[in-house]
Structure 1
Amino acid sequence: MTNPDPASPPPDWREPSAVDRFFGGPPVWVALRLLMLSLVVGVILSVIGLDPFNIIQSLVDFVRWIIHRIENVFHLGFDTVEWIVRYVLLGAAVVVPIWLIVRFAKMNER
């Protein structure tokens, strides 16, 4: 039995693509992590009493309009969806710009 060279990469190893390098991993997983982090940060900012919604008020109005249309069609209690969207938007107002700055800074390191 031969021992594999410890310096060589495993057989399933591949060089990350430019997209993976920019995002810091597979884009879908990065998006899911950003979504969850945005929700957590949004809840924390809301508890603290900070409200950056005046920056993205037009986006919130658009989301409310969509949710209102969905509620009129389905009447399934989309208040929970509106609550989640509200906290995600609040957290994303902080998380996404910081994430972009970090990603661009890491690209300059290479």
Structure 2
Amino acid sequence: MVFRREGEVSPGRAGSGGGLGRIFGGSPIGVIIRLALLCVIVGLVLDQLDINAFQLFRWAVDQIEDLIRNSADILKLIGRYFLIGACVVIPIWIVMRVFNLGSGRR
């Protein structure tokens, strides 16, 4: 653990670009260069795999639409099971409450 006096700057944070350095996570120029290089590498890999960015985006949108559609079906099914179960559980619960009130227990 390193203790610093008030106003002292940590050696690891010097030259990080101040406020922009905190937003970018380092020197803004360095981050931009790393991101550009990463974009070129990912673009090269996707091109070699014959994956188009628009196809990838369309696939992601289709997956989200399927998830929403299937979630709606699941919620309908759960709602149906809830109503069927409530037709049995609620009357039994009411009868048990009535018997408990008659015996004096609470």
Fold in common (TM above 0.5)? no
Greater Rg over alpha carbons, structure: 2
- Structure with bigger RCO (C-alpha 8 Å, 6+ apart): 1
